[in-house]
Amino acid sequence: MPEVAFESMEGSEQLQSGKVSEQLSIAMPEWLSQQWETLKHDQAALYTTIAVLFVTLLTLFIVTRVTFKRKKSKTVLLVGLNGAGKTALFYQLRDGTTHQGAVTSMEPNADTFILHSETSKKGKVKPVHVVDVPGHPKLRPQLEELLPKSCCLVFVVDALDFMPHVRAAAEYLYELLTNKEVVKRRIPILLTCNKMDKITAHSSNFIKGQLEKELNKLRKSRTSVSAADVSSEISLGVQGEVFNFTQCSNKITIAEVSALTGKVEQVEQFIREYV
């Protein structure tokens, strides 16, 4: 018999505990408002609280801004046509060797590293974030997402097998030079003539000239009726003048390198200039 009574008591206790928690939840706002009241009475405390809050928020804001910005534009992009030697250049910059060669890239290569030539340097060397963007036309849409984060572009050109691809190269370059992001932020571009280890490779002057010529033609065809063309966003160069690279608002420099043999100092210098 007492057992039963005990059981029932326990039951009621459970009920009560349920009620207690309910009461607690109701009491919460009351407790808060009490705090509020005391704060109100003590005006000085109120102001300090607000001030502290404000300062914290401000510093937080600034810190995130700074870190975000730093992250935003510290990427070096290696771009160019399929087979130009971007992947080779990427590994040459990172490891000082092209390993066992490369095949057509299906995905970007991205890494943050200290340039291989600087690994022996004393003192603090900042690592760079380099992305090798696949050159195949079908993979080119990926570039759109990477451009906003870039601080400079290394446009790799195959100087050996240049003439068959001059138009395609110029079209790619045209897209870059009229890209909103590139123009707006004046992203510097290094025209990198690769594969200079081969004697039959074209000189950088020749390549520059050919590209300018092709870009000039492209400019004509793409903006032929600019008045009606809604799609012509940004025009290239100075209207009515033969195009050359000095007309671009962003700085365009030219270099001769060989990713295979490791003669890539000009690219390293360029990267160091902007990172």
Partner 1 sequence: MLEQFLIFTRGGLVLWSCLEVGKALKGSPVDALIKTCLLEERAGDSSFQYDAAGAGYTLKWRFHNELGLVFVAVYQRMLHLLYVDELLEKVMREFSILFVPTRTVYHDFDDTYRQLLKAAEANSHFKRVGQHRHIDNPRKGSESQARNAQTGRKSDKSAGKSSGSNDDGADEDGEADGSKFGPVGYSNGTGNGHANGNKANGLGSTKSGRSSASGSSSDEDSVAHKTSSENAFDVSKLAKLRNNKSKKATSGMEGPKGTSKDDAVSKKPQKKNRVWGDAPPPSKLDFTDPVSVDQGDDGVDIAVVEKGLSLMDKDDDDESFRVEDMMVEVEKENGGKKAASKKGWLTSLVQSVAGKPALEYADLEPALKIFKERLMTKNVAADIAEKLCDSVAASLVGKKQGSFTRITTTVQAAMEESLVRILTPKRSVDILRDVHQAKEVGRPYTIVFVGVNGVGKSTNLAKVAYWLQQHDIKVMMAACDTFRSGAVEQLRTHARRLQIPIFERGYEKDPAVVARDAIYEAKRTKQDVVLVDTAGRMQDNEPLMRALSKLINMNDPDLVLFVGEALVGNDGVHQLTQFNQKLADLSSTSSQTQSIDGILLTKFDTIDDKVGAALSMVYTSGAPVMFVGCGQNYTDLKKLNIKSVMKSLLT
Ligand X SMILES: Nc1nc2c(ncn2[C@@H]2O[C@H](COP(=O)(O)OP(=O)(O)OP(=O)(O)O)[C@@H](O)[C@H]2O)c(=O)[nH]1
Quote the least distance from Cβ 267 to ligand X, whole Å: 11
Q: Shortest approach of ligand X to residue 98 CB, angstroms? A: 6
| CA neighbor of 164 nearest in space, from 210, 105, 125 | 210
- Based on CB atoms, which residue is closest to partner 1, 193 or 215? 215
The amino acid at residue 113 is F
DSSP collapsed to 3 states, 37-66: HHHHHCHHHHHHHHHHHHHHHHHHHHHHHH
From the list 85, 108, 188, 237, which residue makes contact with ligand X (rule: CB under 6 A)? 85
Question: Taking CB under 6 A as the rule, which mask of x and - marks residues 115-154 in contact with ligand X?
Answer: -------------------xxx------------------
Could you say whether residue 204 binds Mg ion (CB under 5 A)? no
Residue 105 or 253: the one with the smaller Cβ distance to Mg ion is 105
Residue 218 binding partner per list ligand X, Mg ion, partner 1, none, with a CB distance cut-off of 5 to 8 Å that depends on partner kind:
partner 1
Residue with the two structure tokens 């990267």:
271
Q: How far apart are CA 99 and CA 116, in angstroms?
A: 14
Q: Which of residues 156 and 193 has its CB atom nearest to Mg ion in the complex?
A: 156
When CB distances to ligand X are compared, the closest residue is 135
In sequence order, which residues have a C-beta less than 8 Å from that of residue 270 and are 6 or more positions away?
A: 152, 154, 188, 190, 253, 255
If one asks whether residue 225 binds partner 1 (CB under 8 A), the answer comes out as yes
Q: Does 272 bind partner 1 (CB under 8 A)?
A: no
| Footprint of ligand X on 94-113 (CB under 6 A) | 101-102, 104-105
Is 259 one of the binding residues for ligand X (CB under 6 A)?
Answer: yes
Sign of the alpha-carbon dihedral angle for 176, 179, 185, 186: positive
Q: How far is the CB of 76 from ligand X (least distance, A)?
A: 15
Q: Does 180 bind partner 1 (CB under 8 A)?
A: no
Which member of 74, 84, 85, 87 binds Mg ion (CB under 5 A)?
Answer: 87
- The residue (of 176 and 236) whose beta carbon lies closer to ligand X is 176
CB of 50 to partner 1, least distance (A): 37
Place of tokens 């010529």: 213
Instruction: Write out the DSSP string of 174-236.
Output: HHHHT-HHHHHTT--EEEEEE-TTSTTPPPHHHHHHHHHHHHHHHHHHHTTTTTT-SS--S--
Please choose, from the candidates 138, 145, 143, the residue with its C-alpha nearest in 3D space to the C-alpha of residue 155: 143
198 binds ligand X (CB under 6 A): yes
- Given a contact cutoff of 8 angstroms between Cβ atoms, the answer to whether 138 and 105 are in contact is no
Binding site for ligand X (CB under 6 A): 80, 82-88, 101-102, 104-105, 134-136, 194-195, 197-198, 258-260
